[in-house]
């Protein structure tokens, strides 16, 4: 889906994890291109390819109509 339907918003939930003794170090990851990102992250194939080369915070995407 390239646009949000009227009356809806796009929400993502991010998790930032760090150790107490190293608060400036956070957990990051890279996209597994074989995962179903259209469902779990709202990413189409082109965006998965572009973002797969970068580090990201772990996150999840709410599906259209799903309660937070």
What pLDDT score does 58 carry?
75
Evaluate whether 7 touches 38 at the Cβ level (below 8 Å).
no
For the chain, the structural domain boundaries read 29-63
pLDDT at position 21: 93
- Give CA angle at 47 (35, 24), nearest 5°: 80
Structure confidence by residue, pLDDT tens digits, 31-65: 888 988 887 777 888 888 988 888 887 776 666 66
Q: What is the DSSP string of the chain?
A: --SPPTT----EEE----BTTBTT----B---TTS-HHHHT---HHHHHHHTTS-B--EEEPPTT---
pLDDT > 90? residue 68: no
The pTM is what? 0.51
Q: What pLDDT does 1 receive? A: 56
């Amino acid at each position: 889906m390239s646009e949000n339907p009227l009356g809806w918003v796009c929400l993502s939930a991010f998790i930032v994890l760090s150790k107490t003794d190293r608060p400036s170090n956070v957990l990051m990851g890279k996209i597994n291109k074989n995962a179903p990102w259209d469902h779990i992250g709202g990413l189409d194939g082109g965006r998965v390819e572009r973002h797969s080369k970068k580090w990201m915070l772990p996150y999840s995407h709410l599906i259209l109509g799903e309660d937070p």
